[in-house]
Amino acid sequence: MAAATDPMLKAAALAAGRLLGTAVDETALTNDPQYRATLAAEFDYVTPENATKWGPLEPTASNYDWTHADAIVQFARDNQMAVKGHTFLWYQQNPSWVSTSLSASELQSAIKSHIQTTMTHYQGLVRAWDVVNEAVDTETESGYKDNIFFETLGPDYIADAFRWAREADPDALLFYNEIGIERVGEKSDFAYQMLSDLLAQGVPIDGIGFQSHVSTHRYPSDTDLRANLARFAALGLRVNISEADVRDTVMPGSAEARALAQRIAYQQITAACVLEPACEGITLWGFTDEYTWLQQEGDFNPLVFTRDYQNKPAYQGVLDGLRGLLPKRGNNLLRNSDFAAGVNEWTTNAGSLSVAAASGRDGNAACVDGRSAAGDGLVQSELLNQLSDGGPFAFSAWVRADMSSELDASLLIAEQDKDPREFNIATTYADAGTWVELSGYLGLGFEATPLSVGLKVYGPAAQVQLCVADVVLQPLTVE
C-alpha cells in the first residue's frame, strides 16, 4: 500500500546530510501495512520505542526475548535504514528482578552482562546505542536521578556503563540521552558539566541526544536551542534530536493557529539540527498520531501524520527545517522596544522605572528599582490589538540583574468571565551584572474572548535592580 502523498522527508534529510529517524512501535509494524509503508518511505533511521529497553529484552535474569527487537532490526535492514538501540540504563521499564534487593556487585554484573549480551547480539546491525537515559534530575540534592542504579552504585554507574559498552562493541556509537535539556538552563548546565567531566576522564561517549518532547504553547527559541547544541558539540560530541514531538493541546485557540504553531515548532527544532554541523540527525518519537505514546496522557496530536496518514502542517515544518529554513519573523509588535523614546509606553507594577544608556551594552536600557517582590518588573500593556488572532510568536529581550537570578517574561492575559492568567513565555538565568538574552517561542491562544494582554519582564528577588533592553515580540509565519 502506498503512503498517502508523495514521500519527501527522507530525500530532504539526505540532501541536508542528516539522518531522519522515528521511534518504531513493534505492534504497529506487525499489524498495520500503512505504518510499514510510511515508515520505509519517509525515514532512514529507527529507534525501537520500547523493544530494546531492559525489561522487554531480559524479563528474567539471563533469559532474553529478542523477537520484538529483532523484527524491527530486520525491517530496518530490509529497507536500508540505520538503527539506534534505546536504552540500557533508565529508571523506567526495567525488569522486576533488577531491584534494590541486588547487591552492588550483583547489580554491576547484571548491567555488564546485559550490555554485553545485547550489543553482541546486534553487533554490526545497530549503529548507535543510548547507553544511559535521563540520569540527571536537578530536583534532587545530588543533581542525579534517584534511580535504582544511582541508589545502589552512585554516579559511577554512568562511566562504567559506557566503558562496558565500548568493550562489548567498539564499532557502535555510544550516546547519552536526556529529557528537558533543550534550552540553556539549570538541567542542561548539569548535563553539560557531567559530560565534560566524564569525557575528561576518558569515558567513551560519542554523542548526546536531546529528546525534545515539547509543546506548542512554549518552547525554546532557535537561538537558545542552537547555542545549547553548539556547546555540547564543542565538547567533541555528536549531537542529535532524539525523540521530538510537539503537544498541541495545552494551547487554547483555533485548530489553524495550533496547527501553525506545531508546524513552526517542528520547523525550528529540525532547522536547529540542520544548521549545527555536529548534529547528525533528527528522530521523531513516532510519526502518526494513531500510535503516539502521549495518548496515554490525553488526546494529544503531537506527530506529523494524522491518524489516517495524511500529512499535517507539522510535516511541512519538518520538511522546511530539513531545508535549513527558520520560520519567518514579522514586525516587532512592541512599542518603543529599544527605549529610544525613554519610558514611553512602559510602566512598572511596583518600584520606579528609569531609562538611561545601558551600562555594558549599546543603546538604552530600562531599569526598575525598588521592586517589592520577584514578580515585579517592566510592563507594556495594551497589546491585545496586535495579538488577538493568537498563533506562534518569538520573544526576546536582553536582561540584567544586580544579583544572580532567574529571569522571566510573561504575558498577562484577561479574558471574559475568566480569572486573569499569567502565561510564562521565557525563563533564563543570569549571573549578577551580566546581560543575557531571555528568549522563547510561544503559541498564544485564548480560552474565551480576550479583554487585554500585557507583557511583563521580572524575576529577581525583591529590591534587586532589573534592567531590560531591546525587547522583541514577533509573529512567526511560514513561506
Q: Pick from 267, 205, 213: which is nearest to 236 by CA?
A: 205
Q: How far is the CB of 53 from ligand XIL (least distance, A)?
A: 7
**Count of Cβ atoms closer than 10 Å to residue 200 Cβ:** 9
Do 70 and 56 touch, CB atoms closer than 8 A? no
Residues between 41 and 60 with contacts to ligand XIL, criterion CB under 6 A: 49-50
Q: How far is the CB of 211 from ligand XIL (least distance, A)?
A: 6
Nearest to ligand XIL of 49, 290 (CB atom): 49
Residues between 123 and 152 with contacts to ligand XIL, criterion CB under 6 A: 133
* Catalytic residue selected from 178, 182, 243, 280: 243
Nearest to ligand XIL of 243, 320 (CB atom): 243
Is 179 among the residues that bind ligand XIL (CB under 6 A)? yes
Q: How far is the CB of 179 from ligand XIL (least distance, A)?
A: 6
C-alpha triplet 232, 236, 239: angle, nearest 5°: 50
**Count of Cβ atoms closer than 10 Å to residue 372 Cβ:** 11
Interacting residues of 193 by C-beta distance below 8 A, sequence separation 6+ = none
* Catalytic residue selected from 134, 182, 276, 290: 134
Nearest to ligand XIL of 243, 408 (CB atom): 243
Give the containing element (helix H, strand E) for 466.
strand 466-477
Cα 268 to chain centroid, rounded: 11
What does DSSP assign to residue 461?
Answer: P
| Binding letters toward ligand XIL, positions 274-313, x by CB under 6 A | -------------------x--------------------
Phi/psi at 337 (5° precision): -80, -15
Q: Pick from 52, 21, 22, 232: which is nearest to 130 by CA?
A: 52
Size of the site for ligand XIL (CB under 6 A): 7
Q: How far is the CB of 434 from ligand XIL (least distance, A)?
A: 33
Gap between the Cα atoms of 466 and 351, Å rounded = 11
Query: For this structure, is 134 an active site residue?
Result: yes
Nearest to ligand XIL of 219, 395 (CB atom): 219
Nearest to ligand XIL of 190, 458 (CB atom): 190
What does DSSP assign to residue 311?
Answer: B
Cell triple for 309: 496518514
Q: How far is the CB of 54 from ligand XIL (least distance, A)?
A: 11
Indicate the SS3 state at residue 294.
Answer: helix
What does DSSP assign to residue 80?
Answer: T
Q: How far is the CB of 49 from ligand XIL (least distance, A)?
A: 5
Nearest to ligand XIL of 179, 333 (CB atom): 179
Is 37 among the residues that bind ligand XIL (CB under 6 A)? no
Is 38 among the residues that bind ligand XIL (CB under 6 A)? no
Interacting residues of 355 by C-beta distance below 8 A, sequence separation 6+ = 339, 342, 343, 364, 365, 366, 367
Phi/psi at 291 (5° precision): -120, 20
Given the C-alpha cell 513516532, which residue does it identify?
286
Measured at CB, which residue is nearest to ligand XIL? Answer: 293
Where in the sequence numbering do the catalytic residues fall? 134, 243
* Residues that bind ligand XIL in the complex, under the rule CB under 6 A: 49-50, 133, 179, 211, 243, 293
